[in-house]
Structure 1
């Protein structure tokens, strides 16, 4: 990533355990775009990790899959991933975006819309997506839902950002950074009371 990657500031209800994903694009063999997403485990009660409030809402099939015994020894990293699936997760909730050249779809508005719809399609599929895969997202957001002039903290400094505050399931914000980059965050409304919505540079 040619620019700093941002995450949420360290806070007691979130655990950053290096759960990140990377998407990159090239043109003529040269990196021309990159996106890094970060996921967190959310502890509603960090004082007692075994509190049922910390566990994810899983259906019977999901619980059965987690309890399934496999006939081989799982590597430690896979064992940890499976264990984490039992807890509440803010999946790909923060994304840092970078493009070598500015394009219309690289605007913070377009990135924020894409991020919100991505979370709805993947984390709210049971209630928001109709039909067989890939399905149709019910009431997707678009750039008409973006509100500007929102104050956001980035590395302790206030910057003017944007937000989408019209969806019943998630709340999204985004802000333009330096050197062709931006950051967006999309969070479930049910978890907002546990989260400090401020950004800081994160080492990879």
Structure 2
């Protein structure tokens, strides 16, 4: 969620409009099961494709806040490792009132975020491109390219790095995944040093995938459930 310009104190929360857009999703949006170390903050992105027949595909992406010590949220271990520019952006309070939702959003930047951690993807027409294997590869590559580019190459400028080259040959299709309490066939990517990926087909149509940082895996229970 990005907000630009000077906002009045009574500016509407964009999550309200976001929730209305999510109603367009033809299938339920999935997330990880409720657990102490993760907080679902209603940060959900929606992407879609259209053609002459209407919507051809939709993807809902859920972001979480990580609490490394959920019992004591004031524990410094919960703080993210921020660069100086981000830290200044959080600490510099403007001399004008801001919407409460914006203040909350800025303060949340102090803590580690699992951006686009869980995706629910729907395709109107089935194809190889819409398979769980293909969707998982796309999701893993997206996270690597946007969050780990600097780690993937020697250049000081992360945008100079080549795009990740994970392919479906690196996907293991012989795993089981819990979805709404039921064990179903799944696929995983367990070969990357930075992230772990897993996904499955949904009984009602569509695909759920999750890409998580290895550094946080020990804190996360990887089971999917329908978001309410």
The TM-score normalised by the length of structure 2 is 0.83
After TM superposition, which residue ranges in structure 1, 4 or more long, deviate above 6 angstroms?
none
Alpha-carbon displacement from aligned partner over 1:33-86 (angstroms, at most 9, x marks no partner): 100000111101011111111111111222112212324322122111111110
What is the aligned counterpart of 1:122 among 135, 146, 158? 146
Q: Is this contact kept in 2: 1:163–1:174, CA < 8 A?
A: yes
Determine if the alignment matches structure 1 residue 101 to structure 2 residue 106.
no
1:187 is aligned to 212
CA RMSD of superposed structures (Å): 1.7
TM alignment of 1:1-204, pairs within 5 A: 1-28=25-52, 30-128=54-152, 130=155, 134-137=159-162, 139-203=164-228
Residue aligned with 1:166, SS: coil
Q: Shift in Å at residue 144 of structure 1? A: 0.9
Mapped to 2, the partners of 1:163 and 1:64 lie a distance apart of: 38
Q: How far, CA to CA, are the matches of 2:162 and 2:37 in structure 1?
A: 30
Greater strand percent: which structure? 1
Q: Secondary structure at the match of 1:32?
A: strand
Aligned length: 203
Q: Which runs of 5+ in 2 are unaligned?
A: 1-24
Deviates more, 1:121-130 or 1:164-173: 121-130
CA distance in 2, matches of 1:166, 1:198: 20
Greater relative CO (CA pairs within 8 A, separation 6+): 1
In structure 1, runs of 5+ residues without a counterpart are: none
Q: TM-score, normalised by structure 1?
A: 0.93
Equivalent-residue separation in structure 1 for 2:129 and 2:160 (angstroms) = 23
Deviates more, 1:125-134 or 1:139-148: 125-134
Single out whichever of 98-107 and 151-160 deviates more from structure 2: 98-107
Counterparts of 1:65 and 1:164 in 2: how far apart (Å)?
35
Cα contact 1:43–1:54 (8 A) shared by 2: yes
Q: Secondary structure at the match of 1:2?
A: coil
In 1: Cα distance, 2:96 partner to 2:55 partner: 39
